[in-house]
Structure 1
Amino acid sequence: MDHHFVGIPELTDVPRVAVVIDVMRAFTVAAWAFSRGVEKIVLASTEREALELKESRPGWLALKDGAPAAGFDAVNSPGLLRSAEFAGRTLVQKTTAGTVGALAVADAPLVLCASFVVAGPTARFLRSQEAGPVTFVVTGEDGRADEDLACAEYIGRRVDGDGVDAAPYVHRARSSRAAAELAAGLRSGYHPDDVGLCLEVDRFPFAMAARQEGPLTVLRPVAVPDSDRPGRS
């Protein structure tokens, strides 16, 4: 199938089906948050909006890129998030690339947010919807981030058929600039396990769909049948 792979600056029209990719780390973190009990994730356009949403809704939490900051409850790191308990909570997320990409296509009829940890379920969900050509939004480095492009291409191949070897795509992601920067501790809000956690294929059994709920763009997990889940890479 003729999928499209674009960076955020290349988005000119509203796609019919969009899959927004951020491997390191926004949509790996989002998946971990759902696994720790988060009910929904509200995507914010600015840190100020994230804090305002949190302050106006009792019990909501806020997460951002970078180092810990006043008012924020978590940072954009799967390693730091994996032991948290968020049962039933709402998380407001603002990151440099992932949330920006999702908000850029928020008006599309179908928007999924993805990374390697939900790659297989995302592909199976797209097949179950008989979705036509997919626009993959490669959020990092204006569409040039190899970890995001590798994940997008892997999901695209799995939409088109089973039996795709994840190893070459994971290798590309592991060799990316983002992975090197994370491994060297050059990004704030970092845990030493972040790179490995971002490269686990099909860690979680759900896809993640973003929809408009009133004035908010809300990300929720979507159950997907586990019909062709491969072993983890």
Structure 2
Amino acid sequence: MDARFLGIAELAQVPSVAVVVDVMRAFTVAAWAFAQGAEKIVLAGSLDDALALKARHPDWVAVKDGPAAPGFDAVNSPGLLRSFDLGGRTVVQKTTAGTVGALAVKDAELVLCAGFVVAEATARLLRTRASDRVTFVITGEDGRADEDLACAEYIAGRATGAGTDPGAFLRRAAASRAAAELTLGVRQGVHPDDVALCLEVDRFPFAMVAALEGSLMVLRPQAMPSPTDRDPV
């Protein structure tokens, strides 16, 4: 598999297969939303777009980065979102980097959104699709976020069938700028467990596939075989 690792601004053309990585915290939050029962997640292009969707669909759950704000139901924190009952609900998510990255590749043939919590399921889906060339979109810090790059490199290794040990990749993520900012409270809308939750490898047995549904970019979970049924490596 030919893997490329690019920041959002480096996407000169639409890739065939894109894996958009945001470990801390957009796609860890998305995975938790599905685990809490959400049916789908609509990725909003702006805060105004998110609020407009919420206004048209009052039963939808609107999520944003940073502190709580009028019109939004939750913030982009896995530690806080895990207490929500989202059974059958639609979530509208707008974040600084993750949703931006997914919308930047909305015309790709296959778009996966990922973090460590769905790493193996994402790799398995790539192996199932026999993807020859995969573009990993590193969303944080203009493509330099080490937690996102570490996760992308780990998924790429697993997608080739290598018996990749996650330890070194997790240590890089734990030492990242994003992890430090979350731990020190530099960022708002944070739960004390957020970093630990973002570093749980393969917590969930599904990949997350984003696709255009009409004018909306919609993220849905795709169940993959359980870890006990992993392909031989």
Same fold (TM over 0.5): yes
Paired position in structure 2 for 1:210 = 210
Q: How much has 1:133 moved relative to structure 2?
A: 1.4
The aligned amino acid for 2:221 is P
Q: How much has 1:68 moved relative to structure 2?
A: 0.2
Paired position in structure 1 for 2:3 = 3
Structure 2 distance, partners of 1:178, 1:59, is: 32
Paired position in structure 1 for 2:87 = 87
Structure 1 distance, partners of 2:230, 2:47, is: 39
Paired position in structure 1 for 2:163 = 163
Q: How much has 1:162 moved relative to structure 2?
A: 3.7
The aligned amino acid for 1:228 is R
Q: Secondary structure at the match of 1:134?
A: strand
Paired position in structure 2 for 1:48 = 48
Structure 2 distance, partners of 1:6, 1:162, is: 22
Structure 2 distance, partners of 1:15, 1:136, is: 10
Indicate yes or no: 2:29 matched with 1:29.
Answer: yes
Paired position in structure 1 for 2:177 = 177
The percentage of counterpart residues that share the same residue type is 67
Could you tell me which runs of 5 or more consecutive residues in structure 2 were left unpaired when the two chains were aligned: none
Paired position in structure 2 for 1:105 = 105
Structure 2 distance, partners of 1:96, 1:114, is: 16
Work out whether residues 76 and 189 of structure 1, in 8 Å CA contact, stay in contact via their aligned partners in 2.
Answer: yes
Paired position in structure 2 for 1:194 = 194
Paired position in structure 2 for 1:228 = 230
Q: How much has 1:228 moved relative to structure 2?
A: 2.2
Structure 2 distance, partners of 1:60, 1:77, is: 18
Structure 2 distance, partners of 1:34, 1:205, is: 11
Q: How much has 1:13 moved relative to structure 2?
A: 0.3
Q: What TM-score do you get using the length of structure 1 for normalisation?
A: 0.97
- Root-mean-square deviation (CA, aligned residues, Å) is 0.9
Superposition pairs for residues 111-122 of structure 1, below 5 Å? 111-122=111-122
C-alpha offsets along residues 4-45 of structure 1, whole Å, 9 cap, x if unaligned? 000000001000000000000000000000000100000000
Q: Secondary structure at the match of 1:124?
A: helix
Q: How much has 1:187 moved relative to structure 2?
A: 0.5
Structure 1 distance, partners of 2:139, 2:31, is: 17
Indicate yes or no: 2:130 matched with 1:130.
Answer: yes
Structure 2 distance, partners of 1:87, 1:162, is: 36
Structure 1 distance, partners of 2:142, 2:99, is: 14
C-alpha offsets along residues 41-88 of structure 1, whole Å, 9 cap, x if unaligned? 000000010010011124111000000000100100000011110100
Q: How much has 1:220 moved relative to structure 2?
A: 0.2
Work out whether residues 162 and 228 of structure 1, in 8 Å CA contact, stay in contact via their aligned partners in 2.
Answer: no
Structure 2 distance, partners of 1:77, 1:58, is: 21
Structure 2 distance, partners of 1:159, 1:33, is: 25
Q: Secondary structure at the match of 1:220?
A: strand
Structure 1 distance, partners of 2:75, 2:162, is: 35
